[in-house]
């Protein structure tokens, strides 16, 4: 056991030392007063596990299926931008670590590596492509076409950034910009390779999208389409009605609209509205294996982690991402055993309750 890294927080401490203040603030920060950023983590303390005794857990597996295909655990790698600011190999290192761990990596539209590069780095891995729709849809279409040609399995449409990023005051204080020459294929196409602020990047996105557009975007490929950024029963129902194959309960890691519900608190409402018609996933605030089991009990098929992967990448490169994923897998397995569920599919609503005030 590596006693230097016993939990995700250990990786974050080293990552903060390794990163310059601008990039660290960009990755760690949230919108405005960062209430939602903190609440995403705190929400897991508002729910308690209800372990069931005398269940045969002599053999426990973390294996599951997500969007109809096998995954080694109910934990995926969320899309995060600009990973080469954490490590020179960026998304390629993350992709290799996710493939070795047997789980899905979701590549961001704002990645510092093109879809084809990521596919070449980890040809045997499972990959999804996260989509922002630019005002110049040719940029979006070119990236999606490359993802399809490179064997990506699904598209993840982020819907909570309609032409604007949240007011991220850490970035304003440090003057953070995506440095010229960093190599962000989508932004290079939109801005010609010059330095770009985060606000400028989001201003290039199409703010006119509505629910009927979901069907048009789904029609770009034959891949399944998940909608990321759903927090309400109303939008969950609309996602089902307009052809989504899955939803991800997400508030963008507390980086968009401050003051919205923590994703774990929103999850039961969304899962109830979906009624099993499509798969429900959740991100935001997951830091422990017990967090993943709570999410499963409240209706998620799997959870996604973003910042913990970045902390691993900044701290130790590919080895650090592998360390984070293996640590989380071990914690999930232990939590399943102790809660009395020999597999993720055995976790049920009875395994969780609201904590007393």
Map out the domains of the chain as residue ranges.
8-342
Residues annotated as catalytic (active site), given as ranges: 252
pLDDT exceeds 80 at position 2: no
Q: What is the pLDDT of residue 220?
A: 85
Q: Quick one: what percent of the chain has pLDDT higher than 70?
A: 99
Q: What confidence tens digit (pLDDT) does each residue in 329-353 have?
A: 999 999 999 999 999 999 999 999 9
Per-residue pLDDT at 182: 86
Write down the pLDDT at residue 1.
Answer: 65
With DSSP H G I counted as helix, E B as strand and the rest as coil, what are the percentages for the chain, rounded to 5? 45, 15, 40
In eight-state DSSP terms, residue 138 is H
Q: What is the distance between the alpha carbons of residues 90 and 274, in angstroms, rounded to a whole number? A: 35
Q: CATH number for 8-342: choose from 3.20.20.70, 1.10.3720.10, 1.20.1440.130, 3.40.190.10.
A: 3.20.20.70
Whether this prediction's pTM lies above 0.85 is answered by yes
pLDDT digits (tens, 9 = 90+) for 251-260: 999 999 999 9
Lowest mean pLDDT among 36-45, 52-61, 170-179: 170-179
Mind listing the pLDDT tens digit for each residue in 90-137?
A: 999 999 999 999 999 999 999 999 999 999 999 999 999 999 999 998
pLDDT of 190 reads: 86
CA 259 to the chain's CA centroid: 20
Q: Alpha helices of 298-353 — where are they, by DSSP H?
A: 307-339
Percent of the chain with pLDDT over 90: 87
């Amino acid at each position: 056991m590596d006693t230097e890294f016993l939990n995700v927080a250990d990786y974050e401490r080293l990552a903060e030392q390794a990163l310059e203040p601008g990039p660290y603030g960009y990755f760690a920060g949230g919108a405005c007063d960062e209430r939602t950023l903190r609440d995403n983590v705190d929400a897991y303390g508002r729910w308690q596990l209800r372990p069931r005794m005398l269940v045969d857990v002599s053999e426990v597996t973390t294996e599951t299926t997500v969007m109809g295909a096998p995954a080694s655990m109910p934990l995926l790698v969320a899309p995060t931008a600009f990973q080469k600011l954490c490590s020179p190999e960026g998304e390629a290192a993350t992709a290799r670590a996710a493939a070795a761990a047997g789980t899905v990596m979701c590549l961001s539209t704002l990645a510092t590596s093109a879809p084809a590069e990521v596919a070449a780095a980890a040809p045997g891995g499972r990959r999804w492509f996260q989509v922002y729709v630019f005002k110049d849809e040719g940029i979006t279409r070119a990236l999606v076409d490359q993802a399809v040609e490179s064997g990506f399995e699904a598209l993840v449409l982020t819907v909570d950034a309609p032409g604007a990023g949240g007011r991220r005051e850490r970035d304003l204080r440090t003057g953070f910009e995506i440095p010229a020459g960093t190599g962000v294929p989508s932004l290079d196409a939109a801005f010609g390779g010059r330095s770009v602020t985060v606000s400028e990047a989001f201003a290039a996105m199409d703010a006119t999208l509505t629910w009927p557009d979901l069907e048009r975007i789904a029609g770009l490929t034959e891949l399944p389409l998940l909608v990321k950024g759903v927090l309400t029963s109303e939008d969950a129902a609309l996602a089902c009605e307009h052809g989504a194959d899955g939803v991800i309960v997400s508030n963008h890691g507390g980086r968009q609209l401050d003051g919205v519900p923590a994703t774990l608190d929103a999850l039961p409402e969304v899962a109830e509205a979906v009624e099993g018609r499509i798969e429900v996933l959740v991100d935001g605030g997951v830091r422990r294996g017990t967090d993943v089991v709570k999410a499963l009990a409240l209706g998620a098929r799997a959870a996604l982690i973003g910042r913990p992967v970045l902390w691993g990448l900044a701290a130790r490169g590919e080895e650090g991402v592998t360390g984070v994923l293996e640590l989380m897998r071990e914690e999930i397995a232990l939590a399943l055993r102790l809660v009395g569920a020999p597999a993720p599919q055995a976790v049920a609503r009875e395994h969780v309750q609201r904590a007393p005030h």
